[in-house]
Structure 1
Amino acid sequence: MSVQGAVFFVLSALFLFITTLWINEEFNPEWIKYQKKYYEEQALKTEKEYEVSTTVKEKELLGKKLAFLKNPVYEVKQIFLKGISTWAERENGDKVDRCMTCHIDEEELRTSHPEEFPFDIYGCSVCHEGNGRSLDEELAHEGMYYARRDMQLRLTSAETLFEFWDELAELTPEERDPNQRIGMGNFRIFNITGDKAIYVGSKKCIKCHEGLTYPHVERWLRIKFKSLDLVKKAPDYIAGDEEYRKQCFKCHTTGYDEVTGEYSEEGVTCEACHGPGEVYSYFMEIGKASQGQKIAKVGTYGTPYNACGPCHDTRGHEMRVKFFQVRAVSDEWFFPQHTTPYKTSLSEKVISASNLLPKIH
Structure 2
Amino acid sequence: MEFNEINERDAAELGAIVAPQRISCGESSCALHSKDQSSHRAYVPGAVIWPLSAEEVAKIVSYACDRLMPVTAWGMGSSLEGNPIPVCGGIVLDFSMMNRVLAIRHEDFQADLEPGVIYQDLNETLRHQGLFFPPDPGARATIGGMIGNNASGSRTVRYGATRDHIMRLKVVLADGEIIEIGNRASKSSSGYDLVHIFVGSEGTLGIVVEATVKLTPIPAEFSAAVASFPSAEEAASAVFGIRRAGLDPVALEFLSPECMELVSREQGISIASGPAVFAEFAGPSASYLAETVAYAEEICRENGSLKYEAGIGRDRRDKLFRARHSLGEMIIRSHPDRKIMTTDVAVPISMFPSMIAFADAESRKTSLPRYLFSHAGDGNIHLV
TM-score by length of 1: 0.26
Higher Cα Rg, which structure: 1
Higher fraction of strand: 2
Higher relative contact order (CA 8 A, sep 6+): 2
TM-score by length of 2: 0.24
Higher fraction of helix: 1
